[in-house]
């Protein structure tokens, strides 16, 4: 049943929220549990539709899975199959992380090639090029990719592409290399904290990895991996989203459990925009609305994260002057701009750059979410808008934010989740 969010803007958000575990760390780590026949216990796993979907895929592969309590998953992949069908893969691109785990465990994989999505084409050419560099035989036909890694061996793999490195591509090569004989050196590796957390997890399983968090990662193949217990890192994108919620409402929000070191580029831009930011060992606080237009360029980590671009665009709507956002990771990731314009924003998109002319009065309107981070950005703008906003297609939001509207309400927002039928006549999409 389709659900919508109704938001009445104008409330200041104040208080503290506890950040959940990282979606983009949990998904590759869940895939990596297939690398061993032994039991794995994961803690601080976020309660998201993408996580539940990855669990469903692991069960399809043959893993035994239980959830003794919220946030804790116990997984044991005693015997698994190497095929992953299209009807599972097409629903979530991150299922591509299974490739590296299946190659690492079974020396073979067969998976439908994941499609694109609204934020842009989501090719996996770099993933496949990396596996070929390890001596895998990769064939692609009828929308299926088949990998034969019987004779793979460690080698040097270059993971850079036209948009920089690839996060899940790096994760796949690391997972495949853990049991590939010899030394694998990954050049132009992704440096995201989520890749580092995957490596921390794999090392607990007995993998031999060094250089994680730098552009060069080395993996020495071992015969097999064993079970372990792991606590997923906090979600830096969720943390950044709530900090914007505090700033966009001229409020005062503290995110507990967040690691400020994972958000340096983003916090730097928040401060440049005039928001007061304080950080401690396990919290980040943002208060006061922005006052300055800034220019941001999204880049692979440690640059400004593309996953906080839409939220930052919403924030810049409050600021007089011209801000610019240049997307160097997903050049067409501006679906949210058109919906923000329905709320009164003035934004002009020219290829990979969006110019935001801020300080226009924002008014509530019925808007449509198009993807995960766009849905958060629309809600953030609605918090600052005058009047009532209805955000449709909330399923996008539930992929990556745990109980978002409940937690915003706890900070003082006037927001509720309703069935789509509750919308005023004529608002609902056909
Ligand atoms: C991960 O996606 C994240 N998802 C994305 O978060 C995030 O936006 C992205 O990294 C960039 O940070 C997960 O970790 C599950 P990429 P991923 O491969 O790995 C191009 C969210 O909102 N490319 O690093 O799929 C690609 O087209 C999601 O939580 C190739 O050209 O991203 C893109 O332009 C959205 N060939 C750029 O590289 C390839 O083989 C970065 O993609 C692979 C990627």
Query: In the numeric block, which tokens belong to residue 345?
Result: 């924003």
Give the pLDDT confidence of 215-255 residue by residue, as tens digits. 999 999 999 999 999 999 999 999 999 999 999 999 999 99
Q: Name the percent of the chain lying above pLDDT 70.
A: 99
Classify domain 3-20+234-422 at the CATH topology level. UDP-n-acetylglucosamine1-carboxyvinyl-transferase; Chain (3.65.10)
Indicate the pairing of strand 283-287 with strand 276-280.
Answer: antiparallel
- What's the average model confidence in pLDDT over 13-40? 98
Question: DSSP state, 82?
Answer: S
| Candidate from 51, 168, 191, 303 with most ligand 1 atoms within 8 A of CB, to mutate | 168
Does the beta carbon of 390 sit less than 6 angstroms from any atom of ligand 1? no
Using 50, 70 and 90 to split pLDDT, how confident is the model at 88?
confident
Query: Which of left, alpha, beta for 403 (phi over 0: left; psi -120 to 50: alpha)?
Result: left
* Alpha-carbon gap, residue 167 to 162, rounded angstroms: 14
Any atom of ligand 1 within 6 Å of the Cβ of 331: no
Are residues 209 and 183 in contact, defined by beta-carbon separation less than 8 angstroms?
A: no
161 CB within 6 A, ligand 1: yes
- Number of DSSP helices (H) and strands (E) in the chain, helices first: 14, 24
- Tell me which residue has its CA closest to atom 8 in ligand 1: 307
What does the mean pLDDT of the chain come to?
96
Q: List strand residue ranges (DSSP E) for 56-178, in order.
A: 64-69, 72-76, 83-84, 108-112, 137-141, 144-148, 156-158
pLDDT tens string 359-396: 899 999 999 999 999 999 999 999 999 999 999 999 99
Cβ-Cβ contacts under 8 Å for 57 (sequence gap 6 or more): 84, 88, 92, 95, 98
Question: Which residue has its alpha carbon closest to ligand 1 atom 21?
Answer: 307
Pocket flag, ligand 1, residue 169 (CB < 6 Å)? yes
pLDDT in tens, 401-419: 999 999 999 999 999 999 9
Cα(167) to centroid of ligand 1, in Å?
6
Instruction: Please state the rounded mean pLDDT for residues 163-176.
Output: 97
Closest atom of ligand 1 to 93 CA is: 25
Active site residue 228: no
Give pLDDT tens digits for 122-153. Answer: 789 999 999 999 999 999 998 899 999 999 99
C-beta atoms surrounding 421 within 10 Å: 10
> Ligand 1 centroid to 371 CA: how many Å?
14
What's the pTM value of the predicted model, to 2 decimals?
0.97
pLDDT score of 114: 80
Burial class (CB in 10 A: 0-12, 13-18, 19+), 254: buried
* pLDDT of 121: 76
Q: Using only C-alpha atoms, what is the Rg of the chain?
A: 22
Which residue of 132, 167, 309 sits with most ligand 1 atoms within 8 Å of its CB, as the best mutation to test the pocket? Answer: 167
Q: What is the mean pLDDT of residues 259-285?
A: 97
Name the DSSP letter for residue 345: -
Ligand 1 atom closest to the CA of 119, numbered from 1: 35
pLDDT tops 70 at residue 116: no
Q: Give 91's pLDDT tier (boundaries 50, 70, 90).
A: confident
Reply yes or no on whether the pLDDT at 118 is more than 80.
no
Under 8 Å between Cβ of 82 and 109: yes
Q: What is the pLDDT of residue 87?
A: 87
CATH number of the domain at 23-231, please? 3.65.10.10
Hey, whose CA ends up nearest to atom 6 of ligand 1? 307
Q: Which of 373, 377, 386, 368 is nearest to 4 (CA)?
A: 368
Every domain of the chain with CATH number 3.65.10.10 lies at: 3-20+234-422, 23-231
Active-site residue (options: 117, 136, 199, 228): 117
pLDDT score for 119: 77
**Residue 190 Cα to ligand 1 middle (Å):** 10
Substitution candidate for ligand 1 out of 26, 29, 307, 334 with most atoms within 8 A of CB: 307
Q: Give the tens place of pLDDT for each residue, 308-320.
A: 999 999 999 999 9
Instruction: Give the list of residues 6+ apart from residue 355 with CB closer than 8 angstroms, or none.
Output: 322, 323, 324, 347, 348, 349
């Amino acid at each position: 049943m389709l659900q919508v969010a109704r938001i009445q803007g104008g409330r200041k958000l104040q208080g503290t929220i506890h950040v959940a575990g990282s979606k983009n760390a949990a998904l590759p780590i869940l895939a990596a549990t297939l690398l061993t026949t032994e039991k794995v216990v994961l803690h601080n796993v976020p309660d998201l539709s993408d996580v539940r979907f990855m669990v469903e895929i692991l069960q399809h592969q043959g893993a035994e899975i239980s959830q003794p309590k919220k946030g804790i998953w116990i997984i044991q992949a005693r015997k698994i199959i190497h095929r992953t069908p299209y009807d599972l893969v097409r629903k979530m691109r991150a299922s591509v992380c299974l490739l590296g785990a299946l190659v690492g465990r079974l020396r073979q994989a067969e998976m439908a090639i994941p499609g694109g999505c609204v934020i842009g084409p989501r090719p996996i050419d770099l993933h496949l090029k990396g596996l070929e560099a390890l001596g895998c035989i990769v064939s692609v036909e009828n929308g299926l990719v088949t990998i034969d890694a019987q004779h793979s061996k460690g080698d040097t793999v270059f993971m850079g592409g036209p948009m920089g490195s690839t996060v899940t591509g790096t994760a796949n090569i690391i997972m495949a290399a853990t049991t590939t004989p010899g030394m694998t050196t990954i050049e132009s590796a992704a440096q995201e904290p989520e890749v580092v957390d995957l490596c921390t997890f794999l090392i607990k399983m007995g993998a031999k990895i060094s250089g994680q968090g730098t552009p060069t990662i080395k993996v020495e193949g071992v015969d097999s991996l064993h079970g372990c217990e792991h606590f997923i890192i906090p979600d830096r994108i969720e943390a950044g989203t709530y900090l914007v919620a505090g700033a966009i409402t001229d409020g005062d929000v503290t995110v507990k459990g967040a690691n400020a070191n994972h958000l340096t580029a983003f916090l730097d831009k928040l401060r440049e925009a005039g928001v007061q930011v304080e950080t401690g060992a396990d919290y980040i606080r943002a208060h006061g609305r922005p006052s300055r237009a800034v220019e941001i360029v999204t880049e692979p980590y440690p640059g400004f994260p593309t996953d906080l671009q839409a939220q930052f665009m919403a924030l810049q709507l409050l600021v007089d002057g011209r801000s610019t956002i240049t997307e160097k990771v997903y050049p067409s990731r501006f679906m949210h701009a058109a919906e923000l314009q329905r709320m009164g924003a003035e934004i002009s998109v020219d290829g990979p750059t969006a110019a935001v002319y801020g300080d226009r009065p924002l008014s509530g309107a019925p808007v449509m979410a198009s993807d995960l981070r766009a849905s958060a950005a629309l809600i953030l703008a609605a918090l600052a808008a005058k009047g009532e906003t209805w955000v449709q297609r909330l399923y996008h939001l539930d992929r990556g934010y745990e109980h978002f509207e409940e937690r915003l309400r706890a900070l003082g927002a006037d927001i509720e989740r309703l069935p789509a039928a509750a919308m005023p006549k004529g608002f609902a999409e056909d």
